[in-house]
Structure 1
Amino acid sequence: MPHARSFTIVAQHAESQPAKKCKSVDPTKEWKRRSPFWDHYSFSTVKGKDGKLVRYATCIHCHVAKYKADPRYGTSNAKKHLDQCDAYQAYLAANPLPTPEFDQKVFCRMFADAIMYHSYPLSIVEHVKLREMLTYLNSKVRHITRNTILKYCLLEHKRLKSMLHEILADVNSRICFTCDCWSACTSRGFLTLTAHFIDNNWNLKSRILNFRYFPPPHRGVDIYLFVVGLIKEWNLEGKTFSMTCDNAGSMDVMVARLKSDLQTFGTLPLGGRFFHVRCCAHILNLIVQSGMKVIDASVLKVRETVNYIAGSDNRLVLFEKCVVDSKSILLVSC
């Protein structure tokens, strides 16, 4: 029986290994009692037969059970005693644990918060296994559809938007805007307007005022009408300080017309001299792209080489072998 022989060898090997010594703990020092079972015990430190101090835990209900209270020993004995302690069971009967009432609306609001915070799809509320788990946690749960959770998400968006309106109305400082118009991987255009301001506690805050689908054409006049409508919607005409955007020609047209409108109301400081701020990141991007054009031929060769090697498993194995051989040659030469 080979299995029996192997078991004997493993057992002998285990017996030959020295037992690991647990790190001693000073019983006079406090230790973090994370388990809720320790709440039903009182602690005392006594001197043992060997003269060393030992910490004991005594049940506060029956005052009979006494166990060594040490992080090395765990909470198994304390838990088993409470399950069998008549005094503790009588205490539970007289003082039942409070069970919070289930509120379906609170559940839906919390589910909507989780969806918006973690960017979950709305269809997650209709997943079968998730519904089974929620039913197991609370049988009073009434499952909802994606249309219902969408309503709760829109209500939360409306509440947060109203809260942001109040915050911006109370701001005493000027507000700087960042406008960005870009296309997603689906070729759909979007426009984002972000407000940057210092609150009354002198903390720098940034809030996205709009993240919306922006259909073509992306002309300067269209962007201007879109942005000026947002500024008026948030009642920020008299608090505007600057507008940061990229160096596209359409953005120059938008900023020029917006600056002209705000100057008419006389709300821009210093006559709008510092109103238009060009995005440094976009300028740096243009510089890098111009520099990359110089090495376009080399980059193209590297791409073709990678595509050729990755096109076959055999080529990939040969390439890895060449890499190993080249490393060994370099080591020998060094």
Structure 2
Amino acid sequence: MASTSNTHLHQKSAVWHFFEPPVEECGKRQSKCRLCPDDKFLTVSNSGTTNLKKHIKNIHKINDLESASLNFAPQPGEYILREALVKWIATDCLPFTAVESESFHELVEVIRKLDGKITIPSARTVKRDLLEKYSLLKTSFKDLLANNLSKISLTTDLWTSNSCKAFLGVTAHWIDVNWQIQSRVLDLAPFEGPHTGINIANAFVRICEDF
């Protein structure tokens, strides 16, 4: 699974106005150019952003990054849209590529004509946004469990898909301060190996230790 890096948030370079936050895949940090019509990803070096600057200057003919970036800062509406897309993808259990389907873009085109400009992010951008949202919600959930005053019960469910991929689900249950029963899924983790008691116990412990 790809992971995201927040290193770019602390960068002073104006070049980041032209690139999406880096995504780490297969050991390489890559960032998508916002100016390229297609999904153009460049490798982000830990030592600097020289290759990103060269791309902007050589391909897009922008030499003064500072001045150009003032007109290229993401608009509030873009963040609102991406937040809504993440909720839609996660709630309806849709693939990241749903934002790239022809019918979806036709719908957006109709909306754009009715109500201004809308830019749809790529599937990789939606994936990154979803991972970031998951990380935030997971941290919040950990705090909720840590501050919980009642005992917590855990249930498990070992499930195998039609494609013969096994998953172990773990759900936490407790009673909150208002005497309401609460339930939250801790994880639905891929399960490797035979479904023996020892393997199930080890997978269960790994999930619990993460919280």
Is residue 175 of structure 2 the alignment partner of residue 213 of structure 1? Answer: no
Partner of 2:92: 118
Within the candidate set 149, 164, 174, 2:141 is matched to 164
CA deviation map 1:87-123 (0-9, x unaligned): xxxxxxxxxxxxxx85211211111111211223322
Distance 1:134 1:124, change over 3 A: farther
**Distance apart, 1:159 and its partner CA:** 1.5
In the other structure, the counterpart of 1:195 is 172
Determine whether 1:132 maps to 2:115.
Answer: no
Say if 1:180 and 1:191, in contact at 8 Å, map to a contact too. Answer: yes
Distance 2:169 2:206 in 1: 13
Do the aligned partners of residues 137 and 121 (structure 1) sit closer, same or farther apart at CA in structure 2, a change above 3 Å counting?
A: farther
Structure 2: unaligned runs, 5 residues or longer: 1-74
The match for 1:316 is: none
Larger relative contact order (Cα-Cα within 8 Å, sequence gap ≥ 6): 2
Is the CA contact 1:102–1:140 (under 8 Å) kept in the aligned structure 2? no
Residue pair 2:172, 2:186 contacting (<8 A) in 1 also? yes
* Deviation >3 Å, runs of 4+: none
Unaligned runs of 5+ in 1: 1-100, 235-334
- 1:169-222 deviation per Cα after TM superposition (whole angstroms, max 9, x unaligned): 111111111011121222111100111111122111111101111122222222
CA distance in 2 between counterparts of 1:233 and 1:131 reads 39
Query: Contact 1:191–1:213 at 8 Å: present in 2 too?
Result: yes
Inter-partner Cα distance in structure 1 for 2:114 and 2:128: 24
Distance in 1 of aligned mates of 2:112 and 2:78: 13
Distance 1:232 1:102, change over 3 A: closer
Note closer, same or farther for the CA distance 1:186–1:112 as it changes in structure 2 (3 Å cut). same
User: 1:133–1:124: structure 2 CA closer, same or farther, 3 Å change rule?
Assistant: farther
In terms of fraction of residues, the more helix-rich structure is 1
Deviations 1:132-174 (A, max 9, x none): 1342244332221111111111111112111111111111111
Q: Distance in 2 between matches of 1:108 and 1:165?
A: 25
Contact residue 158 and residue 167 of structure 2 kept, 8 A: yes
Amino acid at match of 1:122: F
**Counterpart in 2 of 1:326?**
none
| Structure 2 match to 1:105 | 79
Alignment-mate amino acid for residue 200 of structure 1: V
Shift of 1:125: 1.2
- Secondary structure in 1 matching 2:183: strand
Aligned pairs for 1:1-334 within 5 A: 103-128=77-102, 129-234=106-211
Q: TM-score, normalised by structure 1?
A: 0.38
Partner amino acid for 1:222? N
Shift of the 229–152 alpha-carbon distance from structure 1 to 2, 3 Å rule, reads same
Equivalent residue pairs, number: 134
CA distance 1:215–1:133, shift in 2 (3 Å): farther
Call closer, same or farther: CA 1:117–1:228 in 2, change over 3 Å. Answer: same
Give 1 or 2 for the bigger CA radius of gyration: 1
- The 2-side partners of 1:116 and 1:224 are apart by 28
Amino acid at match of 1:203: Q
Q: Pick closer, same or farther for the CA change 1:211–1:126 going to 2, 3 Å.
A: same
SS of the aligned residue for 1:181 comes to strand
DSSP-derived class of the 1:108 partner: helix
> 1:119 & 1:230 partners in 2: Cα distance?
21
Tell me which amino acid in the other structure corresponds to 1:151.
R
Compute the TM-score of the two structures, normalised by the length of structure 2.
0.59
Could you tell me how far apart the structure 2 residues matched to 1:123 and 1:194 are?
A: 28
RMSD of aligned Cα (Å): 1.7
